[in-house]
Each structure stands twice: as structure tokens, then as C-alpha cells.
Amino acid sequence: MSNSSDNALPKPLMFGIVTIPRFIIGTAILVGIAINVANVIGRYFFLEPIIWAEEIMIYIMVWTVFIGAILVSFEGQHLKMDFFSIMLPSPFKEIINCIAALAVLLVCVYVVPNNWTVVELMWSNDQRSVVAEVPMVIPHFALLFGFVMIFVAIAVRFKSHVLGTLASEVDEIVQEYAEADEDVTAPKNN
């Protein structure tokens, strides 16, 4: 997050969109690892596997994916097909970036109300998972929460997404390659 526009965002917003999700992801992965290790020990040393371990680890992974998507969207690190668009001249590049950002926002606007219906159904029916008997509203809520927060993450940095000022690994590689190419082709002054 080396973008200078981050300084304009309020610290509580940055804390809520960046710091809390990173903490949740780290904690969730550690809990998943602990469950997996406990299951391996139970299965191979005591011949008693934890029957709900696989199911819970899948739900943890679902949550980490959607919380991670918030960070990826905020930082502009999501997978993009921008090989040609990064080479476009200024007005066209911004137009393409705007269309891409609007497309993500529109997908969020479509997914959120539809998933809200599913979450309401899971809540009202009190549907539970087969083995661990976890309320199914919990894994389904991950999708709803993730897309709402992706919308917020894109919206608060919409200008940076459109102007292409978010630093990404691809942009850095292209920049390094262009600088190396300039060094090779530049005439030497003696």
C-alpha cells in the first residue's frame, strides 16, 4: 500500500478495511492449522479422528478467502487482464479502469441482495451442517460480508482504481523492465 492517497483516508477506515481483516485471516489460518494438527494426532496416535475437523476447516477457508478478497480489492492486487490496458494512452487507460471498477461494484450490487436472501433462508430454517452442526448461516454470511466489504473497499478508493495509481506487482515489473530496456538502449557518453 504505497499509495499516497492512503494518507487521505481516515485511520479508523484503514484499520477496519486493512488491519482487522489481516488479523482475522492470520488468526483463522492458525486455528485451521491447530485443528488439522489435532486431527492428525487424534487419527494416527489415538485412532480417534476429530470427525468435524474437515468441515470446520472448509468453513474457515471460505471465510479467509472472502476476507482476503477485501484486502485484495482495496489494494488493487486482484487478478486483472490489463496487459494491453496499461499500455494505452491516458484518457483511454482511465476509461478502461473506470469500466473495470464499475463492473466490480455492479457485481457486488447484484450479489449482495441475492445472497441476503440465502442468508435469511439459512437463518429462518436454522439449517445446520451435517457433521459439526454449525449453523449454515455462518459460512453463507462470509459471502455476504465479503461482497459488502469489497464494495466499500473499491468505493473508498475508486479514484485510485480509475487513475491506476494503486501499486501492483505487475506494474512494478513492467516499470522495472522498461527501465532496464532504457538502460540497455541508451547510448553511452564517454
pLDDT-derived band at 3 (thresholds 50, 70, 90) equals very low
3-state helix, strand, coil split of the chain in percent (to 5) is: 75, 0, 25
DSSP, residue by residue, 25-81: HHHHHHHHHHHHHHHHHHHHHSS---TTHHHHHHHHHHHHHHHHHHHHHHHT-S---
Domain of 24, in residue numbers: 4-185
| pLDDT tens digits for range 83-96 | 777 788 888 888 98
179 located within any domain: yes
In this model, does residue 61 exceed pLDDT 70? yes
190 located within any domain: no
User: The pTM is what?
Assistant: 0.78
Quote the CA–CA distance of 109 and 175 in Å, as a whole number: 34
| pLDDT tens digits for range 125-145 | 999 999 999 999 999 999 999
The cell for 23 is 488479523
103 located within any domain: yes
32 located within any domain: yes
The predicted pLDDT at position 176 comes to 77
Q: Name residue 43's amino acid.
A: R
| Structural domains in the chain (count) | 1
